[in-house]
Amino acid sequence: MSKVIRVENLSKAYQLGDFGTGTISRDLERFWARIRGKDDPFLKIGEVNDRTIKGVSDVVWSLKDLNFEIEQGDAVGIIGRNGAGKSTLLKILSRVTSPTTGSVKVKGRVASLLEVGTGFHPELTGTENIYLNGAILGMRKAEIKRKFDEIVDFSGVERYIDTPVKRYSSGMYVRLAFAVAAHLESEILIVDEVLAVGDAEFQKKCLGKMGDISKGEGRTVLFVSHNMGAIKKFCEKAIYLDKGNIKQYDTVDKVINSYTILSRDTRSVYAVAEPADKLAIGAFISQIAVEETSGNRVSEIRVGDSWQIRVTFTITANVKHFIIALGIIDSRETNVRTTWSNPVDITAGKYEAVFIESDLLLASGRYGLNVGLSSYEKAIQYIENAAYINISDISADNLDKSIIRTSGIGVLLNPMEITIYPAK
């Protein structure tokens, strides 16, 4: 098959530092704040791709020396952590921005859906924006008119098609934008993770349409998503970006497997920063540890093995009807289990709560832990994704487990065993 995208030695650099705010009054306000030693009121957040270290240069390489080719009809997923350069790559391929060095050769017309409202004029109606987008792609009015009813029907916003799109909700925006990009006659469709704005039914509909475009119509699709299930279901190949570099470009199963392993958090102990108002709120969490039931701290649990979560917290003032709760969520932030302790009257001091799990058999993957402190009278502290637990593949010893639970099951009636006692 012919190559429709060829990227050679592609790099993209961004300059950090101070830029004009757009008005003289704001520039003077920034200057006055600097003289007084105050924070810049118009400071834009920006840092190197590796956000775990402090940068020393005022130049950020969002992409560095990328080389790859994509054939006609390929459905290619692009995955990586936030800041890996995924959206920058799509913007370059869509000709929204240009590379700093290297070259990009694209054969055919490109329809892209990069962020909510891309390519739409807010003052124009849905109908007018459909014709505008088609004209940008180089289509004739008769071609757009032939596709018009199909676009409107797919989007599900027929009632509001003659309303200015500035009055649309974000979900309506995405519905119409995707319908336009998918149905107009482009050779290449580029979709960023904006589909997360839509509801589950529409996401499923979009994935089905992209499958038809790639397999049925022979058009090329590039799809960025953090949903590994969607990537695996729809794409045959995938590109794994890491800190602006291509770490792997292979079949989708191999790339997702590498991404899952390399992005897995290897910590067993998670420190929690003390809140500034810790004395006022009455209690706060300081540490969460993932352990085997023997007490050994581990970064990974084998499927079927028992495990426990140890939460260290401090009570700064006596609390009546104190409750500590633990929630487990999967990679799609679906609740797997939520459990909480019986209410107790507790005095000031440092404590540990141990949540012991022996009957919940989770599928392999990475799960987030939400932890909350409360009482009958008030919510004290709640932290989402305060820690993570990694479940590895099943072992032969665990194949005979009688109770099997997978992700996305909601709240279970049989709670984990919870023990609270003073910390050592």
User: Of the ranges 22-26, 38-42, 149-153, 343-347, which one carries the lowest mean pLDDT score?
Assistant: 38-42
Task: Using alpha carbons, select from 122, 105, 55, 124 the residue that is nearest to residue 83.
Answer: 55
Instruction: Please check the confidence at residue 262 and state whether its pLDDT lies above 80.
Output: no
Instruction: Please check the confidence at residue 318 and state whether its pLDDT lies above 80.
Output: yes
pLDDT bucket at 41, cuts 50 / 70 / 90: low
Tokens representing 226 are 């953090």
Instruction: Please check the confidence at residue 7 and state whether its pLDDT lies above 90.
Output: yes
Identical topology for domains 3-9+64-262 and 269-422: no
Distance separating alpha carbons of residues 137 and 343, to the nearest angstrom? 63
How high is the pLDDT of residue 45? Answer: 40
**CATH superfamily, with its number, for domain 3-9+64-262:** P-loop containing nucleotide triphosphate hydrolases (3.40.50.300)
Name the β-bridge partners of 338.
Answer: 327
Do 237 and 74 form a contact (C-beta atoms < 8 A)? Answer: yes
How high is the pLDDT of residue 16? Answer: 63
CA 26 to chain centre: 34
| Segment 149-192, tens digit of pLDDT | 988 998 888 888 999 988 888 778 888 888 887 887 788 888 88
Instruction: Please check the confidence at residue 264 and state whether its pLDDT lies above 70.
Output: no
Distance separating alpha carbons of residues 143 and 281, to the nearest angstrom? 63
| Segment 180-231, tens digit of pLDDT | 878 877 888 888 876 655 566 777 777 788 878 877 788 898 988 877 777 8
* Calculated CA dihedral for residues 182, 188, 192, 193, nearest 10 degrees: 50
Instruction: Please check the confidence at residue 55 and state whether its pLDDT lies above 60.
Output: no
pLDDT bucket at 402, cuts 50 / 70 / 90: very low
Global confidence as pTM: 0.58
Distance separating alpha carbons of residues 289 and 35, to the nearest angstrom? 45
How high is the pLDDT of residue 397? Answer: 40
Give φ, ψ of 165 to 5 degrees: -70, -15
pLDDT bucket at 40, cuts 50 / 70 / 90: low
How high is the pLDDT of residue 270? Answer: 92
The mean of the pLDDT values for the chain is: 80
Tell which wins on pLDDT, 249 or 26.
249
Do 320 and 413 form a contact (C-beta atoms < 8 A)? Answer: no
Task: Give the end-to-end CA distance of the chain in Å, rounded to a whole number.
Answer: 67
| Segment 326-383, tens digit of pLDDT | 999 887 677 888 888 889 999 999 999 999 887 777 877 788 899 999 998 888 999 9
Instruction: Please check the confidence at residue 406 and state whether its pLDDT lies above 50.
Output: no
Task: Using alpha carbons, select from 312, 316, 364, 374 the residue that is nearest to residue 343.
Answer: 374
How high is the pLDDT of residue 401? Answer: 37
How high is the pLDDT of residue 17? Answer: 59
How high is the pLDDT of residue 404? Answer: 32
- Percentage of the chain beyond pLDDT 70 is 82
Instruction: Please check the confidence at residue 258 and state whether its pLDDT lies above 70.
Output: yes
Instruction: Please check the confidence at residue 288 and state whether its pLDDT lies above 90.
Output: yes
Tell which wins on pLDDT, 237 or 202.
237
How high is the pLDDT of residue 290? Answer: 93
* Sequence ranges of the domains in the chain: 3-9+64-262, 17-57, 269-422
Instruction: Please check the confidence at residue 412 and state whether its pLDDT lies above 80.
Output: no
Distance separating alpha carbons of residues 198 and 178, to the nearest angstrom? 10
Instruction: Please check the confidence at residue 415 and state whether its pLDDT lies above 70.
Output: no
CATH of domain 269-422: 2.70.50.60
How high is the pLDDT of residue 334? Answer: 78
How high is the pLDDT of residue 9? Answer: 92
| Segment 79-138, tens digit of pLDDT | 988 778 888 999 899 888 888 889 999 998 887 777 665 678 888 999 998 998 888 777
Average pLDDT of the segment spanning 43-70: 64
